[in-house]
Chains A and B, each alone.
Chain A
Amino acid sequence: MRAAALALRRKQWEPLAFASPSLVLIALVIVFPLVYAFFLSLRNFDLSVGPGSEYVGLQNYTEALFRDGRFWGSVWNTALIIAPSLALELVLGLGLALLLNRRIRARSILTALLAIPPMVSPVMAAMAWRMMFGVKYGAINNVGLQLGLIDVYFDWFSSPLISIVAVVLVEIWHNTPFMMLVLLAGLQSIPQELYEAAKADGASPWQSFWSITLPLLKFTVAVAVMIRMIDLTKLFGLIFILTYGGPGGSTETVAFNTFLVGFNDFRMSYASALSFLIVLGVLLLTLAFLWVSRQREARAA
């Protein structure tokens, strides 16, 4: 015993030495660039103008918040995409999780097959769907015509509203399985005895769903929705391929707008300021989430 304790006694420098390679790399490649970007956001560096720049204080931030209609447009578009996507992903994901949680054959293979879309990159998902939305050769118009649902070749990206619908549809296809997996795990952690007890007391399946399943699943739902929401604020690849922000900027998300400001207009300082506003938004969402879950824990205790 004594020997074991002796051997396990660490040398003072070891924990730091083991951790330092990652810490140094993170400091150099993530933390330093972020600090640099923050100082950049206080200047007026514009690559299309030249290498020089000067300190302008918070001017970039005030411009974004008070004078930049395009930025607020992109905030609005992002919200317009997030709200229906989240709602539908949640409802469909819960429905699928409930189906998979019944006594069925081949559950694991079905789950694995349904879980494939979220593994695919947003770019590839968007590319596949862009071709499916194709006016003449796309699968959607052709299936619609064959089934008699539509009577003309329909251009899915001609109007702002329908473009948003198309983006939401692809997003739902891409990430509903994620919701499904998380909720299925949540469902499987609910003790079966609760349902048996409810049944013995004469509760209908509908009643036990409302008074057992939903209350016990609430926290899982909150976590899953939060993760998706944070992810959706970064929506970029899907937009880049599917609509490139069009038509007329109607599907420009905050991340995509920042990308255009930085790498189309080359306004590096302004793009940095915009990106910090996104970080702030994500941070607030995360904190709100932590607050909600603490509240819940406090009430449970």
Chain B
Amino acid sequence: MRAVATATAPAFTRRLARSRVRRWAGSGLTYLGLAAALVFFLGPFFWIVTTSLKGNEDFFSFPPRWIPLEPSLAHYERLFTKASGLRYFGNSLLVSTLSMFAALVVSLPTAYSIARWRFGGGALSTVLLVLRMLPAIALIIPVYLMYRAFGLTNSYLGLILLYTVVYIPFAVWLLVGFLRDFPVEIEEAALIDGCTRLKALIRVVVPIIAPGLAVVALFAFIATWNEFLFAVVLTGIETKTMMVLVTSFTSGGTDMFYGEASASVVLGVLPAFAVAFALQRYLVKGLALGGTKG
């Protein structure tokens, strides 16, 4: 017995060592690949942030300085004062927040009707899905003409209305999923106690599915924040959003106003960062149905 053990031991350790080396090399390559991916996917953000913090000294230095020696907020200050950046940032915030709430308020009862009473059957769900796939370019031409006739161009109301409605199909679709997971018994109890449907929905269902509502709300917020085509056509000098503001920095070839442009990009991507972390678990579902596109 002993002899056998000693005879196989060296071979065994050799094999163990080889597999260990292989595993070690494998995980080394894995981390190397992921590190490369991080550099590629986050590098642009790093560069934009550092550029926005560079003063002239750092910006024009040769060889280029990747990290500013004397960080300054001068570009942000100029963006806010000269380019009305603060106003447009506020516009984006206002339009996104109000559209988000309006979309939720309108979509929730509809989703409830579909989830509890199968309202509209499969047909309604299909219609909602098709509306979700509808290219924005098909909608903007008639909407622009109608808004022009009603005096709704260059108005917050017009933009918020459009964003709210365009977002309904997506919000309903997500909310139906959350409502189907909700136990009917709790609602029944409230109904027996003499609540009306609407009261039961607001007082009993809403507090319990609040996390789901938050998910839908955040997706709605980021989608309207990111939306560009409707905004660029329908807004004017007072109602521009951040997405429209950056277009004013693109004139003048590829070497343009780096300072203010980079500062506005930093402000423009800020909500995306926040929401990406808040929504980690739901990203696939949301992105798949165009959750981040208006």
Where the two chains meet, the residues of A that have a C-beta atom closer than 8 Å to any C-beta of B are 3-4, 7-8, 10, 14-16, 18-19, 21-23, 25-26, 28-30, 33-34, 36-37, 40, 95-96, 99-100, 102-104, 108, 110-125, 127-139, 142, 146, 155-157, 173, 176-178, 181-182, 185, 223-224, 227, 230-231, 233-234, 236-237, 240-241, 244, 255, 258-259, 262-263, 268, 271-272, 275-276, 278-279, 282-283, 286
Contacts and interface: CB of A to CB of B under 8 A. Distances in A.
A182 B286 CA distance: 11
A128 B138 contact: no
A189 B34 CA distance: 22
A213 to B, nearest CB: 16
A155 B265 CA distance: 22
Main secondary structure of the interface of A (DSSP, over half): helix
Interface stretch (B5-13, B44-52, B78-86): B44-52
A262 B234 CA distance: 13
Contact of B168 (A16, A25, A138): A25
Contacts of B119: 15-16, 18-19
Given A37-B141, A124-B272, 14 more contacts: A10-B117, A16-B119, A30-B139, A37-B142, A99-B37, A115-B280, A119-B222, A119-B275, A120-B269, A123-B228, A131-B51, A139-B47, A234-B135, A237-B243
Given A123-B243, A181-B287, A23 B110 contact: yes
A30 B159 CA distance: 14
B45 A116 contact: yes
Given A33-B142, A275-B141, A96 B258 contact: no
A91 B281 CA distance: 23
A14 B226 contact: no
A8 B254 contact: no
A99 B19 CA distance: 19
A104 B162 contact: no
Contacts of A116: 41-42, 45, 272-273, 276
A134 B145 CA distance: 37
B228 A236 contact: yes
A183 to B, nearest CB: 10
Given A115-B280, A240-B247, A259-B229, A155 B254 contact: yes
B63 interface: yes
Contacts of B273: 116, 119
Contacts of A23: 110
A21 B109 contact: yes
Interface in B167-188: 168-169, 172, 184, 188
